[in-house]
């Protein structure tokens, strides 16, 4: 059952991820991206990472995608016109992508632990929000506060960028 | 049950799709979306390894999931700044096609 679910959600993620790249209309790309993110959240939950799955839905499928759709609507973008394709650049991009993919297959094929199944979770209380929260505030307290400053800087930067007029 | 290798292969294919999108597409908003796909591919392999390295207490290794949490936060900040730059560019140039914005100095 879990194997069927894994392949179903993996296929969903990959097909709609491909749709992001293939679609010519930016709105269709953004909606494909939402479905791809939802499939990925389901994959996280199959890996017993419920907290990560939930924040994936909340932040990516919620906040980030609304931002993308908002910008697309603001610009009133339509399907882009087909321009002359820069063939050497396109061929180079495809060649590097294929080389990367074959390298991934080679490395994963030779990686011995990759054939093993996941060990069963035997912990008495699998409470991952609790455990991640403890780890975040105990061991990763300083990085957590630095992330807070980063988000503050990003929001100030966005305000500065959107008020200043670029010539 | 799926093996670790299956998750790593899916993650690799998703990263390749994102990479191909970044290389082949000429719309700057779609390039940002492809960057998000690559971030998510990295997150998937991190979570898969987190589940694979189940400790002696029978729980996944939560260090990787904290790392994924940080990556998601940074990616959200990156999208906000990136889209603000795109808006500023669009107001100055009325285009989102990257071949029209090829000059470094305006």
Q: Does residue A51 sit within a domain? A: yes
Find the range with the poorest average confidence among A106-110, B1-5, B54-58: B54-58
Q: Which fold has domain B4-101?
A: Helix Hairpins (1.10.287)
Average pLDDT taken over every residue of chain A: 89
Mean pLDDT of B23-32: 90
**pLDDT value at residue A167:** 59
Q: Does residue A158 sit within a domain? A: yes
Residue found under tokens 């959240």: A41
Handedness of CA A69, A20, A41, A153 (dihedral sign): negative
Q: Does residue A92 sit within a domain? A: no
In this predicted structure, the answer to whether residue A126 has a pLDDT above a threshold of 80 is no
Tell if the CB–CB gap between A18 and B2 is shorter than 8 Å. Answer: no
DSSP A106-133: HHHHH-GGGGSBPPPP--S---HHHHHH
In this predicted structure, the answer to whether residue A137 has a pLDDT above a threshold of 60 is yes
Tell if the CB–CB gap between B29 and A51 is shorter than 8 Å. Answer: no
Q: Does residue A117 sit within a domain? A: no
- Domain containing A31 — which CATH number? 1.20.120.1200
Indicate whether A133 and A75 sit together in one domain. no
Q: If contacts are CB pairs under 8 Å, which of residues 21-60 in chain B contact chain A? A: 21, 23-27, 29-30, 32-34, 36-37, 40, 43-44, 47-48, 50-52, 54, 57-60
Q: Does residue A57 sit within a domain? A: yes
Residue of B46, B59, B67, B90 to mutate for A, most A C-beta atoms under 10 A:
B59
Provide ipTM, 2 decimals.
0.91
Q: What is the domain count for chain A? A: 2
Indicate whether A74 and A143 sit together in one domain. no
Distance (Å, rounded) from C-alpha A155 to C-alpha B78? Answer: 10
Contacts of A154 in chain B (CB under 8 A): 77-78, 80-81
Looking at chain B, which residue has its C-alpha nearest residue A35? B37
Distance (Å, rounded) from C-alpha A140 to C-alpha B84? Answer: 30
Contacts of A120 in chain B (CB under 8 A): 54, 58
| Domain coverage including residue A156 | 127-167
Give the domain ranges of chain B.
4-101
Tell if the CB–CB gap between A48 and B51 is shorter than 8 Å. Answer: yes
Contacts of A165 in chain B (CB under 8 A): 91
What share of chain B has pLDDT > 90, as a percent? 61
CA A128 to chain B, closest CA, distance in angstroms equals 8
**Looking at the complex, does the CB of residue B68 fall below 8 Å from at least one CB of chain A?**
yes
pLDDT tens string B56-90: 788 888 999 999 999 999 999 999 999 999 988 88
Residue A160 bridge partners (DSSP): none
Distance (Å, rounded) from C-alpha A50 to C-alpha A48? Answer: 6
pLDDT tens string A57-109: 999 988 999 999 999 988 877 766 767 777 888 899 899 999 999 999 999 99
Indicate the residue among A42, A57, A80 that finishes a domain: A80
Contact between B12 and A105 under an 8 Å Cβ cutoff? The reply is: yes
């Amino acid at each position: 059952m879990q194997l069927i679910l894994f392949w179903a959600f993996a296929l969903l993620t990959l097909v709609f991820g491909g749709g992001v790249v293939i679609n010519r209309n930016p709105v269709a790309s953004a909606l494909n991206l939402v479905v791809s993110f939802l499939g990925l959240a389901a994959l996280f939950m199959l890996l017993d990472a419920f907290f990560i799955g939930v924040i994936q839905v909340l932040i990516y499928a919620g906040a980030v995608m609304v931002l993308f759709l908002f910008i697309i609507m603001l610009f009133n973008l339509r399907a882009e016109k087909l321009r002359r394709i820069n063939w050497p650049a396109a061929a180079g991009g495809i060649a590097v992508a294929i080389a990367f993919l074959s390298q991934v297959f080679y490395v994963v094929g030779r990686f011995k632990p990759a054939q093993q199944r996941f060990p069963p979770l035997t912990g008495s209380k699998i409470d991952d929000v609790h455990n991640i929260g403890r780890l975040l505030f105990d061991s990763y307290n300083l990085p957590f506060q630095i992330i807070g400053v980063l988000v503050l800087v990003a929001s100030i930067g966005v305000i500065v960028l959107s008020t200043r007029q670029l010539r | 049950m799926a093996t670790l290798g299956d998750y790593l292969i899916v993650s690799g294919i998703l990263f390749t799709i994102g990479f191909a999108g970044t290389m082949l597409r000429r719309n700057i908003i779609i390039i940002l979306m492809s960057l998000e796909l690559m971030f998510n591919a990295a997150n998937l392999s991190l979570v898969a390894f987190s589940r694979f390295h189940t400790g002696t207490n029978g729980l996944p290794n939560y260090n990787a999931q904290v790392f994924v949490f940080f990556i998601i936060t940074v990616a959200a900040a990156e999208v906000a700044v990136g889209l603000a730059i795109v808006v500023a560019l669009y107001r100055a140039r009325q285009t989102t096609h990257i071949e029209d914005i090829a000059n470094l100095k305006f």
